[in-house]
Amino acid sequence: MTSPLPIVRTPAELRAAVRAWQSAGKRVAFVPTMGALHAGHLALVTLGLAHADVAVASIFVNPKQFGPNEDLDRYPRDEAGDAIKLASVGCSLIYAPDVATMYPPGFASFVRVSGLPDLLCGRVRPGHFDGVATVVAKLLSAAGADVAVFGEKDWQQLAIIRRMAADLDIGTEIHGCAIVRDVDGLALSSRNAYLSADERARALALPQALQATRAAILGGMPVAAALAAGERTIKAAGFVRLDYLDLVDGETLHSLGRPAAGARLMGAGVIGTTRLIDNIAL
Same domain, 133 and 200: no
Q: Are 253 and 116 in contact (CB under 8 A)?
A: yes
Cα 68 to chain center, whole Å?
Answer: 20
Same domain, 208 and 238: yes
Asked if residue 185 is part of any domain, the answer here is no
CA-to-CA distance for 163 and 271, rounded, in angstroms? 31
The residue out of 147, 177, 207 marking a domain boundary is 177
Same domain, 128 and 207: no
Q: How many domains does the chain have?
A: 2
What pLDDT was estimated at residue 1? Answer: 61
Q: What are phi and psi of 190, to 5 degrees?
A: -60, -30
Asked if residue 184 is part of any domain, the answer here is no
Asked if residue 167 is part of any domain, the answer here is yes
CATH at 46? 3.40.50.620
Question: Position 190: which residue type?
Answer: S
Asked if residue 162 is part of any domain, the answer here is yes
Asked if residue 182 is part of any domain, the answer here is no
Same domain, 156 and 101: yes
CATH at 226? 3.30.1300.10
Closest C-alpha among 249, 250, 245, 251 to residue 268: 245
Asked if residue 242 is part of any domain, the answer here is yes
Same domain, 158 and 244: no
Same domain, 157 and 194: no
Same domain, 38 and 76: yes
Closest C-alpha among 65, 124, 54 to residue 90: 54
Q: What are phi and psi of 153, to 5 degrees?
A: -60, -45
CA-to-CA distance for 36 and 144, rounded, in angstroms? 24
Same domain, 84 and 33: yes
Same domain, 173 and 194: no
What pLDDT was estimated at residue 63? Answer: 92
Same domain, 147 and 240: no
The residue out of 143, 177, 211 marking a domain boundary is 177
- The set of catalytic residues is 41
Q: Are 278 and 207 in contact (CB under 8 A)?
A: yes
DSSP 134: H
Rounded CA Rg of the chain: 19
CA-to-CA distance for 32 and 151, rounded, in angstroms? 10
Q: What is the pLDDT along the chain (282 residues), one digit of tens a residue?
A: 678 999 999 999 999 999 999 999 999 999 999 998 999 999 999 999 999 999 999 999 999 998 887 778 888 899 999 999 999 999 999 999 999 999 999 999 999 999 999 999 999 999 999 999 999 999 999 999 999 999 999 999 999 999 999 999 999 999 999 999 999 999 999 899 999 999 999 999 999 999 999 999 999 999 999 999 999 999 999 999 999 999 999 999 999 999 999 999 999 999 999 999 999 999
What pLDDT was estimated at residue 54? Answer: 98
CA-to-CA distance for 229 and 236, rounded, in angstroms? 11
Q: Are 8 and 93 in contact (CB under 8 A)?
A: yes
What is the maximal distance between C-alpha atoms in the chain? 58
Same domain, 114 and 229: no
Range of the domain at 219: 190-281
Q: Are 64 and 99 in contact (CB under 8 A)?
A: no
Same domain, 92 and 160: yes
